[in-house]
Chain A
């Protein structure tokens, strides 16, 4: 069974540039999460989707971050423009109806 797939695994950009991350959840999982993991910290929830609806985006910095899950399957997280402080690992996780979460390998973003 395939796990949560994320791409790219690594991304290096200059500040003020846009960047996008993609996540494909485990087949059949209707709940999808994006987390931010800063160096030396635990993951922090950015946004949670139930199917295509964002049900919790209170921690998403909406001035520069956006996310979508148009067909209720895969999802894209975008940052525009990126800032130095956005350097971190962005984790995607999925679950069936909000149950136990399975995590992807993450995208490590470096902003120069």
Chain B
């Protein structure tokens, strides 16, 4: 069984400030971890993923996340927020089923960016 907990349904930052979105996971097998972004009235877009190897993962739009097994965490960060980063962010954990990714999503965190 696997699950994801995203701490904070809303995160508010000023433009130019550090973005930190928290994600903790539970998985009975080595996890694959993902962050997706969803803009209003759009589908989910993959920001970054961790499967194996380097624990610091860089994604699109300046985002990165670090897999910390000891803390069962996969927090998403960006050094400087931009107005265009305002969106809903979903963390997901996946095992594989016959070679297929089957992600379980968190409830999402809404990022609000103030001018």
Contact = CB atoms under 8 A, between A and B. Distances in A.
A91 B107 contact: no
Interface in A63-112: 91, 93, 95, 97-101, 103-106, 108
Contacts, number: 60
Interface stretch (B66-74, B77-85, B90-98): B90-98
Interface in B100-115: 100-103, 105-108
Given A48-B100, A48-B102, A42 B108 contact: yes
A103 B43 contact: yes
A101 B108 contact: no
B65 to A, nearest CB: 16
B101 A101 contact: yes
B49 A100 contact: yes
B41 interface: yes
Interface in A41-56: 41-45, 48, 50, 55-56
Nearest to B46: A100
Interface string A24-36: 0000000100000
B43 A44 contact: no
A42 B90 contact: yes
B41 A105 contact: yes
B43 A31 contact: no
A104 B43 CA distance: 5
Nearest to B36: A103
A93 B49 CA distance: 17
B49 A97 contact: no
Contacts of A55: 98
22 contacts: A4-B43, A40-B9, A42-B90, A42-B92, A42-B107, A48-B100, A48-B102, A55-B98, A56-B97, A91-B43, A97-B99, A97-B100, A98-B97, A99-B101, A100-B46, A100-B101, A103-B43, A104-B43, A105-B42, A106-B42, A106-B43, A108-B41
Given A48-B102, A101-B101, 19 more contacts: A40-B107, A40-B108, A42-B4, A42-B92, A43-B44, A43-B90, A45-B102, A93-B43, A95-B100, A98-B101, A99-B100, A99-B101, A101-B103, A103-B36, A103-B43, A104-B43, A105-B42, A106-B41, A106-B43
